[in-house]
Amino acid sequence: MDVDHEARRLVAVLAARHPLFRPRTIDRLVRRIFDEFADSPVRTYLPVLVQREAERRLRDLDHDFPARPLRPPRAETGLPVVPEARHP
């Protein structure tokens, strides 16, 4: 099994499912998990195990630190918001 190839494939899949996280961050996570399983005697299902573990960790991070919705400008500045002009 080519770990680099599998890591790149998993990063692409996970980045599409978790757009909140940068692909570079997901890549580091995936490679760290592959390293954690380095001594595993059975390598056949390793990509599946790594993907499941990465999914779990990304979900946990997303749950623990959810993205905050943007506040309307009025709440931040106290000034009224002027709607944008619509052009025909």
pLDDT score for 35: 96
Residue 78 lies in a domain: no
pTM higher than 0.85 = no
DSSP class of residue 53 equals H
Residue 26 lies in a domain: yes
pLDDT score for 62: 81
Range of the domain at 57: 3-64
Series of mean pLDDT values for 10-residue runs along the chain (88 residues): 94 94 96 94 92 95 68 56 58
Residue 72 lies in a domain: no
Cα–Cα separations (whole angstroms), residue 66 to 58, 63, 72? 11, 6, 18
Residue 79 lies in a domain: no
pLDDT score for 42: 83
- Measured between alpha carbons, how far is 56 from 46 in angstroms, rounded to an integer? 15
pLDDT score for 45: 92
- Measured between alpha carbons, how far is 1 from 14 in angstroms, rounded to an integer? 20
Residue 75 lies in a domain: no
Residue 59 lies in a domain: yes
Residue 53 belongs to domain with CATH number: 1.10.8
Q: What is the number of domains present in the chain?
A: 1
